[in-house]
Amino acid sequence: MARKIRHSRLESRTARLKLPIRKKPHSGVSLAPGVSLLYRRNKGNGSWVDRVLAGDGRSYWTKAFAAADDYAEADGDKILNFFQAQDRAKELARGHDSKTASAAAPITVEGALDAYESDLGARGANVYNAQWPKAHLTAGLLAKPVMLLTTSELKHWRNSLLAMLAPASVNRLCNALCAALELGGTTR
């Protein structure tokens, strides 16, 4: 089980009720690289806000996803305590929470390739350029959020292709993947 992160200003309802009411969320805890849990103090129950680094790696998206247990008891669904909110924020950032996941969730490599395929089809271009990289990418790389890709992973993948494809084919394949990742970073 993942460890719970402590934060004295947000952990208890007594501490949260001492915070001033404002529209901008109060700073919170970092749950993972690029994922933070924030708290917005309201007149009634406050709300938990997820702040996640977007697929372009430069901007953040935020989403209020549940009410805090300031005046009502936590029910584990619509009203969450601090530790339940941590779990839900991580699920939302990964795109696994079907109740609260939105179109703003980080895009995966496979999602970027799918968006690229749709874009090619809309422009009357050959959709094979988006399908071809899928045949050569590992399941792990396909499922990985674009914002978490590292250059060393991509270099290792590219170098492994040289054993089975000609260098010119590897370049064309990499160019198709680059186009999909570029488009994927701008479509969300």
User: Where are the chain's structural domains?
Assistant: 13-94, 109-187
| Mean pLDDT lowest among 7-16, 48-57, 83-92 | 48-57
Residue 97 binned pLDDT confidence (cut-offs 50, 70, 90): low
C-alpha 165/C-alpha 158 separation (Å) is 10
C-alpha 158/C-alpha 177 separation (Å) is 11
Closest CA to 91 of 139, 46, 52: 52
The whole-number average pLDDT for the span 5-11 is 89
Residue 105 binned pLDDT confidence (cut-offs 50, 70, 90): low
Within 10 A of 108 (CB to CB), how many other CB atoms are there? 22
Contacts of 97 (CB under 8 A, 6+ apart): 65, 88, 91
Residue 55 binned pLDDT confidence (cut-offs 50, 70, 90): low
The whole-number average pLDDT for the span 88-113 is 71
Structure confidence by residue, pLDDT tens digits, 113-158:
999 999 898 888 899 989 999 999 988 888 888 878 888 888 999 9
* pLDDT value at 110 more than 80: yes
- Compute CA distances 158 → 20, 37, 131, 172, 179, whole Å: 52, 36, 17, 11, 15
The whole-number average pLDDT for the span 166-178 is 94
